[in-house]
Structure 1
Amino acid sequence: MSSSAPAQPRPLVVLTRALLLGQHALFAILLLVAWARAAGETPWFELVAAGLGLGYAALAVVEHRTAEAGEPSQPLALVLLLLLLGAWFASVSLTPDFAWLAFPLFFAVLRLLPSGWALPLIVLMVLAVVWSHARLSGWADVGLATVVGPTVGALVSVGMAHAYRMLLRDNAIRQDLVDQLAAAKADLEATHESLAESRRQAGVLEERARLSRDIHDTLAQGFSSILLVGRAASQPGSGPIRLHQALEEIERQAASSLAEARAVIADLTPQTLSGGDLPAALERLVTSVSELSGIRATFELDGEPRPLPRTHEVALLRLAQGALANVTAHAAASRVVVSLSVDDGGARLDVVDDGVGFEPGLTGPREDGTGYGLRSMRERMTALGGQLTIESAPGSGTAVAAHLPAASA
């Protein structure tokens, strides 16, 4: 993301440039006055005056380019200043008329030289002005005004130069603040875009996880049931009647799985819930598992049925489907009990079997693509603020308990 450079604070920039232009104009005016006063009085004054004008003009051009580039004073500017001061000392030695140029030159010295060098040089320039007047009229005629005039001018120059530097410093501070604000704004916009992208990625991952759980609990479980029925029908000794029943069950299970898949695609409630409430759907599920697997499966309802949020009914039904699929596929159980209880504290679903059991801490995805059921159950409960508890041990059966608090509805 590109952004234009922030504009400098205009009032301070205009003021500092106006002060600098005023100093240049003052030097030009005083130079013309000195030139006119000294005309015909002193030899070589034209050459010295021309040198002063050209030297100051060159210095002003170099200063302007340096300021535009935002760089510190260049060595060329210091060399030009020293040559300009040399020409001024020469002009003052010729005539005191050029002493008036000391005032704008004070500013140039204070702008380009550090205080440790600038102040002694200004003192030397003041002494040169006093000496020029004394050389012309004699030291006996040097009055208080001759000394006070250039001294006051030097003090005023020092004060104004200090104010000028303060303005430049304030301008730099404000410019730095503007740059920092611009950088902070750019960082904020980049952070906002990053957060938006992160939210989008999180939404994509969450939707993938939801689809994974739904596919596992619908298509995968349906295919597992079809596979179990097919294996049972292919056993030696299965007669035509048994084979015919198996085909009918396979057809029924395939149709149910297809309806579940369409419901997942349309993001509807499970097909099993479309004909009634959760207890009725669980009872139909238990009956179907008992008929398919031969396991003695029963359903128990503790207390009177109560309405639940649709998301809770879907989650509990999916969990029962996954738990019963694990029982038929892995538990080698002879009996399984599914119980549901709903009260003011929430809903609780238990699936308990008398199978071979397992070590809960050793479960996980397997190379054949299975092993996602328990993780899918836990993710469903966590998404709704519920809890999933699994108790099992080798040879001791398995108990799966899910609890959804009423407050999470």
Structure 2
Amino acid sequence: MPAIAPVRIGGIEVPTPVVLSPMAGVTNWPFRVICEEYGPDGLYVAEMITARALVARNPKALRLCRFAPSERVRSLQLYGVNPAIVEQAARIVVDEDMADHVDLNFGCPVPKVTRRGGGSALPWKTDIYTDLIRRVVRVCGEAGIPVTAKIRVGIDHDHETFLEAGHIAQEEGCAAVTLHARTTAEYYGGHSDWSRIGELKERLDIPVFGNGDIWGADDALAMIRETGCDGVAIGRGCQGRPWLFADIRHAFEGSDERFNPTLGEVCRVIRRHAGLLVEFYDGDERMAVHDLRKHVAWYLKGFPVGGSTRRAFMECESLADVDREIARLDPDVEFPPRVVDKPRGRVRFAKKVHLPYGWLDSRTTSHEERETLFGDDPMDASY
């Protein structure tokens, strides 16, 4: 397989076309910095910013908009339902020079998002979807900031939207589209259907990034080989494995080199992550270490460290506590082969898709629906 070509997103070149997908509670700047150190020429996107919260100047939203000085491209994702509010948020991003790239979230399947018509539910309503993209592209275009969109296959297989949503995104000026090859109903269960990525790539002229079930570098190569997509987006696959971006860079360059760290090397990453989180939380070690807990569970996945050690990390309250637990581990333990390139975390299936009442009755919104969606502005301004 030939070396994978760089991808251009507006005025931004991505030499290794791999994207860190936004993940709530995960992709704040400390985690992005660690990922980018392994794969310095990819694209690393901040976790989803609720447009209403940004407009309201919510402190947590503003914290999530921060970028580290080392980040090559400041990439920020916005979420919203009301096009006017998302436009206001985009204006803030432009006027305050917050980002170099804006991604729009139309892929989130979480019930608290879709029941408001947001995330992966929104492309079903082509009028709102089109208006929202058009407004954000216009605002960002004035500043030369490229806009991209993240979408899913559809709400379910009876209500697929991805081909139309991709076409609209292209026509309204998006510089690229990322497709998570599952429906909302499939949530994160089973295996994503990569053939849908190939379908979308055949229909569009702008770059298409594929997303879903990339757990190792060979998966990334396989997705590009099978679908013809321009690059890959990594979500759950890099949780506790930020070196996956180094593996993918090597694979895209045609190298067989892979990073299989010892437990000692993993612990050095954990400690660096902890220190960066303290900076992120303005010196609050307790908040930083609490944030670190989920990452530690992912970092230690597969290592024979025992339940008592895992519990001890979950009870840490300071950097000193983290250092104490790290010192108790054997640094020479090899990376466990049984978890290499394997799924991590829970595989979650949605029992049902939560949507606004009557959402599927029409592809466009009535005046009454808009009043219900926008009248009280259902987007939460808090976190």
Under TM normalisation by the shorter chain, which class is it?
A: under 0.3
Say which one has the larger Rg. Answer: 1
Higher RCO, Cα 8 Å, sep 6+? 2
Report which of the two has the higher share of helix. Answer: 1
TM-score by length of 1: 0.20
